[in-house]
Chain A
Amino acid sequence: MAILQIKNLHVTVETEQGTKEILKGVDLTIRSGETHAIMGPNGSGKSTLAYTIAGHPKYTVTEGEILLDGEDVLEMSVDERARAGVFLAMQYPVEIPGVSVSNFLRTANTAISGEAPALRTWIKDVRAAMDSLKMDSTFTERNVNEGFSGGEKKRHEILQLELLKPKFAVLDETDSGLDVDALKIVSEGVNRAKEANDFGLLLITHYTRILNYIKPDFVHVFVAGKIAEQGGPELAERLEAEGYDRFVKA
């Protein structure tokens, strides 16, 4: 049983207009096997939370802490966090020209597991995960995210989630830019990975539709850099019906 604790997290970012506080005291605890949905309007700081957990250098933590099984995550470099078991599925994965998917996946797996995977079982695992995400086998020969469609980028992120077996996964608007078929395939991938590895899941989304496929245990409404309300799955249903207006106006 692993536990990820976010306590009174305050985060700033440098903008042209100066330092701006985006997160204003976030408290959140996620345990293995739990699915937490973070929902909120644009600009509420959802993605900032995701990137801060992963350690993007753009964001500065001014107050609060993030603990993974009691270890200080904020003291860790980006790659140390990943090796400690934190995974971020990015909303806008970048292209890495000249680096093939197969090379990238193998390098990442070696880094995270601490040893090079046995070639035969590795190829089998990759193939199986790709098949279930309905990805063509030639995909591994392409360069990372280069010329990928929006759907291919998201599948590639979830492929990594399946292969890298983290303790905690943060999905940053993985549902954006996907049609219903792709959303289904991607969601099934997330559920399968979760079934296999029992990670804690933080699902960041603007819309409720992904929650039809990935069932949350907890729903948090994020407004103006804070959690404004939390509850069970029924809160998502209410948001579906009422929208965010209630919170934004308040």
Chain B
Amino acid sequence: MTTSNATIPVQHGMAEHSHGAGVPVQTRSERVRSGNVADFAPVSKREEQYRYITSEQLAGLDADNLDEYVGDISIKHPDGVTTAWVGTEHPAFGGAGLPEDRPSAAAWGSAQQAYLVTIPGDAKSDCEIQLGIDSESDAPSALHVIIEAKPFARGTVILDHKGDAILGENVEIIVGDEADITVISIQDWNSKSVHNSSQFAKLGRNAKLRHLVVSLGGKTVRVSTSAEFAAPGSEVELLGMYFADAGQYLENRLYVDHAVPNCKSRVTYKGALQGEKAHTVWVGDVLIRQAAEGTDTYELNRNLLLTDGARADSVPNLEIETGKIEGAGHASASGRFDDEQLFYLQARGINEREARRLVVRGFLNEIIQKIGNEEIESRLSASIEAELERSGS
């Protein structure tokens, strides 16, 4: 394992590095998976899942029982898409995976029903579904969302988290055979909010998922994304973008489980940090099991530290059980703001503040440009602008 943080001097900030896979404590696949919170030990630094976060930061989301989410859920969708609250006995419930840590299991067991969004097989790529989660509550609560894309479906789902909340959330993403969908989860909470979101994706045969996590606002935002291939020929692109200000804690955990042959995964996360005690954590686990011949995987995390006092932890883990793969790699780098870039821009008349913003925007743009949807791109650009404005850079 490697940890990169602000104390490592990196010239020009962005030099890549790579290294051999470390020796994991256990194989990633042996971790407990359960919807029952009693199966998980209390949150403690001894467990890899909570290496960087404390129980205190989770603000009650690791308790045995949470309230059910009572905030607003707004939905906008075209005809053909259906939504419903369903019970835990519904076949889609648990259809994409099971919790792998205590806060996720706490939310799982506490949710008596799930909000199910179904994208029909004849939905086209312009099918856009907006799910607004806007809360005004400070009690730890649980929400369960299921997105089911039927075979051959196309479309984009945007989960938009706003307001005040202490929210334990599970999002299941079931991608049917030959379906091709995009899921975007935006965390733009008010500054006191605490959010633990576990997002599970399961892909059918020749299915495609593009998944984007955007974490901007909130005191503590921890998003764990896992992707499991149920059949060969599938592809996931897991993208992430985060911007941590002073005192903010943003964690992203990824797990791609290559259990079947000929699947492809790409993980690209980029983050900017600014201010005293801005802290980001990125942990990217990729497991290529023995049966997963022909796997093609690459994961990358980059962090841009804009000021002193910020800390970025970046830990890629690659576990490979077969040699018959197309490719497997990772890169992780965290660097300071490059003063030569600043000089170059200033030498063209651009003032320091604007120059810094240009560099940060450019750095994060790489992720936004991958969305391939102009409307969403300009919306995310506007969110970054607002973030830059808020942080006073």
Contact = CB atoms under 8 A, between A and B. Distances in A.
Contacts of B341: 94-96
B214 to A, nearest CB: 16
A81 B346 CA distance: 9
Contacts of B361: 98-99
Contacts, number: 83
Contact of A111 (B351, B366, B369): B351
A82 B348 contact: yes
A78 to B, nearest CB: 4
Contacts of A88: 347
A79 interface: yes
B158 to A, nearest CB: 23
A96 B348 contact: no
A78 B14 contact: no
Contact of A107 (B340, B354, B364): B354
A87 B338 CA distance: 21
Indicate the member of A78, A82, A93 with the most B CB atoms within 10 Å. A78
Interface string B346-381: 111111101100110111111001000000000000
Interface of A: 54-57, 77-79, 81-83, 87-88, 90, 93-99, 103-104, 107-108, 111-112, 143, 160, 164
Given A82-B349, A108-B349, A94 B344 contact: yes
Contact of A98 (B339, B350, B351, B363): B363
Given A90-B344, A107-B358, A98 B364 contact: yes
- Per DSSP, chain B at the interface is helix
B343 interface: yes
B320 interface: no
Interface of B: 12, 14, 338-341, 343-352, 354-355, 358-359, 361-366, 369
Contact of B346 (A78, A87, A98, A164): A78
Given A94-B338, A96-B341, A98-B364, A54 B347 contact: yes
A79 B358 CA distance: 14
24 contacts: A55-B346, A55-B347, A57-B339, A79-B351, A81-B347, A88-B347, A90-B344, A94-B340, A96-B344, A96-B345, A98-B363, A98-B364, A99-B358, A99-B365, A104-B348, A104-B358, A107-B348, A107-B354, A108-B349, A111-B348, A111-B349, A111-B350, A111-B351, A164-B348
Q: What 3 pairs across the A-B complex have the smallest Cβ distances? A: A98-B362, A98-B365, A111-B349
Contact of B349 (A96, A99, A112, A143): A112
B348 A77 contact: no
A84 B75 CA distance: 53
A218 to B, nearest CB: 24
Given A94-B338, A98-B366, A56 B348 contact: no
A107 B344 CA distance: 13
B366 A97 contact: yes
Contacts of B12: 94
A112 B348 contact: yes
